[in-house]
Structure 1
Amino acid sequence: MTHIPEKVGVLGGGRMGAGIAHAFVISGAAVTIVERDEQSAQAARERIVADLGKSLERGKIDGELGEWEKKFRVSTSYADFAECQLVIEAVPEAWDLKVSALTAVEAELADHAWLASNTSSLSIDGLAAELKHPERFLGLHFFNPVPASKLVEVVKSQVMSDELRSLAPRWVEGLGKTPVVVNDAPGFASSRLGVAIALEAIRMVEEGVASPEDIDNAMVLGYKFPIGPLALTDVVGLDVRLGIAEYLESKLGERFAPPQLMRDMVARGELGRKSGKGFYDYS
């Protein structure tokens, strides 16, 4: 039997955080999202309402949008996590920011509550070492866009409790998604492989081997990828993938060194879908 916690918190209401909140809301949880200020909180609310609207249009959930909106709240106070049984951190992929966010959340949690990070590459063991209760912490790596993705990477630490090892995959199944359980390692399984393919595709563009369209079509049509590596990089964000690549290079060596083309595009603000231009034009 699958189940999810009744009360769930999400720190960060950006695209990933809003998607995670949406997943728990439509699965029956009462969700609290905390953002850094009122403007960001309002933007988070609008993202989640938009996702709920799409779920209603597609028949994935029933009822009225107004009723679904009552199942979540957006706040600017960490103290509102106090009643949550699970809180998932979804702030940008920067070590110091992750540590400060996680320690601030942990200070508000009840003794029985669990804490997770949505990091796509940073060390779960390293983050756990910064916490007072590392045995109650794990990685839950969701994929973008969360509503459409069927995968969640469950990342174990060396010190997590046996109870948490048992519960986490069942939470993922309770969301209607598939858990992939991995030990802590740089980039885990998904980011390590996904970024390796993306970096090589970017090098091929840089070297003039083929156009982004043809490289992506080769992988979609030849290898049955649902989306090409360059189009996916645009979805994830070139800045996000650059940060992951730099981290993996520092841990695993020069095979993860970001191509100069990637650095140049980020410097020009060509970040992908969110900026209107990346390897493709979205304007």
Structure 2
Amino acid sequence: MLPTLRRFYSSPSATSIASQFLAKSQSLPPYTQTQFLDANQLQRLSATLSRRVLAQSLPKDGTPLPACYHLAYFTPSQVEEELGQDGTDTTFNPPSPFTRRMWAGGELEWIVGEANRLKIGQEVKETTKLVSAAGKKTRAGEEMVVVGVEKVYENENGVALIDRRNWIFRPEIIFPQAPASKPAEVAFPDAKYTRDFTQTPVTLFRFSALTFNAHKIHYNREWCREVEGHRDLVVHGPLNLINMVNLWRDVQGKDTVPKKITYRATSPLYAEERYRVLMDEEKSKVSEVRIVDSYGKTSMVGQIESA
């Protein structure tokens, strides 16, 4: 049985809410947590991604963590009663009504050097702070709050990775949305390097479990279709990012990490629907990568810079 979503309120503007939220958040100390990078998590993530080399046996201490696999560590720890109505972690949420979170993009920067690699068996400290919050409007005129956080990861040798993430917070749903219809399929574009995916509900469930992500859009079809208006389960933004970077790593032909990645999510992808990762030949140490669905929409774009 779905919850009753009808709520009535007089909402302040997104700009005023964002300003107050930013001031309050920046007056607080950064949020920190320390975690042991255990082999079990890496093995299970590799199995979820069908990366057989790391999935076939328990990785040894000292095994480098592949680029972006840190996204399966440092997971949220809120008790269920503190989660949002849609199941999302609320640690960096602006106030109501802007509580409906979506992953918008970000930037990752690795500190070059073997000593700074994140590796299995290390104890790593994550320090997170809110760095921005701004009121914006969609093309349709709907208000939203765009929030930016910065996560710094340190091992025994100092800073290893800086992860800057942007989230969009839209108004909570007052009236359930009608499910979107499926567009007509079109032919995939081509590129120098491509890889096709069709994510199953099993993959999405396993990725949600590994990242301790209770966001209902990734596992609750009833919520997706009858509340948020999606046509099916939504593929995780971080999962798409990892798959983009895995293609880049495979083309590089060695276990390497980038110097920098910038990426932006532009449209959702859904379970049981084919999509393609496309990457052009590297130019001036930068590879252009994008994801397109089978209906002609670009779902994510990124630039990966080699060290």
Q: Give TM class, smaller chain.
A: under 0.3
Greater RCO (Cα-Cα under 8 Å, separation 6 or more): 2
TM-score, scaled relative to structure 2 = 0.22
TM-score, scaled relative to structure 1 = 0.24
- The structure where helix makes up a greater share of residues is 1
